[in-house]
Amino acid sequence: CPMNMRDAHGLLLSRNVPPDVLARKVTFKARNDDVLLITYPKSGTHWLWEVVSMLTRGSTTLLSDTMTHIDYFPLEVIDILPSPRVLATHMPVTQVPRDFFTRRCKMILCVRNPWDVALSFFHFVRNLQTFEYSGEWDGFFDLFLQGNVPYSSWFEHSREWLDLLSSNTNILLVLFEDMHKDLKQELARIARFLDVPMTNDLAEAIQRETTFTNMAKNKFDYTIAYSKTGVSPIFRKGKVGDSKNWFTDSQASLVEMAYHRELGENRHKLNYVTRQRTS
Ligand code: A3P
């Protein structure tokens, strides 16, 4: 496998995922008040986790904790976290621990446009020692399009989750680009969905604390230790549309075609016509 991955029953995973990760589908014990954040990698997981943690705590200091990622954290650690827990996963629908569904836990699905995800993923994989990858952009692009990357295909991941969204009122869809455009508005939607109190002051404080610049400077970054370059693998640029500087026209339209083909009617929930959301 490229990027030092392993094939876990058709799902590609990096080697630092614990061996029991797929067994967690049945062994993981959820709590009724857990909030599960679902993202494909590089879609703003760390940002959303911070924002949602601030909302549920009603406090706006950046947490010194590492994002609670249920695909990576030891279960013993997750088990003793205080409630309400804000947990993150990159798993596809079929591999998410069943207990979240049984208990009807609230889930927030955050989606970012595939052009920017591909670019962000490229830098991430090149920069982290774990992946042992030093390929160039063109080669990575092909692997991304084929779904030959950690957590497999963006297109499949998004289609499956968006399909489930149609029939499930416990899942809220949030777009990375919308958080960028108007975080306060997204905060209001999230607070309503989670049924937590929200004031204008709180929203403004969260917005101030979770800017890219502030998080890049002040958030404890556990990934720096694994960076080949000393540059943060998580806080790179935090922009919308940076992919324009990297994609050839033909690469951009290959993603566009795959997006139309694979997402089908679900693409109307996202409406990424080109690299950015247009409505
Ligand atoms: P870029 O590589 O395009 O800069 P994840 O947390 O899922 O790994 O996603 C990482 C991406 O989210 C990175 O994108 C990162 O810069 C961006 N990001 C992280 N924190 C952010 C913030 N506070 N505001 C905007 N973007 C942020």
Q: Cα–Cα distance between 209 and 207 in angstroms, integer?
A: 6
Q: Are 39 and 48 in contact (CB under 8 A)?
A: yes
CA of 212 to the centre of ligand 1 (A): 7
Distance 233 CA to ligand 1 centre (A): 9
Would you state the pLDDT for residue 222? 85
For ligand 1, is residue 237 a contact (CB within 6 Å)?
yes
Task: Give the closest residue (by CA) to ligand 1 atom 18.
Answer: 238
Q: For 58-67, what is the mean pLDDT?
A: 90
Q: Which residue has the tokens 């339209």?
A: 253
Testing ligand 1's pocket by substitution, the residue of 234, 244, 245 carrying the most ligand atoms inside 8 A of its CB is 234
Q: Does any ligand 1 atom lie closer than 6 A to the CB of residue 54?
A: no
Instruction: Tell me the whole-structure pTM to 2 decimals.
Output: 0.96
Q: At what angle do helices 137-146 and 249-263 cross, to 10 degrees?
A: 10
Say if ligand 1 is within 6 A of residue 45 CB. Answer: yes
Contacts of residue 10, Cβ cutoff 8 Å, sequence gap at least 6:
152
Q: Say what the pLDDT of residue 279 is.
A: 36
ipTM of the complex: 0.99
pLDDT tier at 220, thresholds 50, 70, 90: confident
Element (H, E) at 217: helix 212-218
Residue 50 CA, distance from chain mean position: 12
Token pair 């869809």 is at which residue?
173
pLDDT above 70 coverage of the chain, percent: 97
pLDDT tens, position by position, 224-263: 889 999 889 999 999 999 999 999 999 999 999 999 999 9
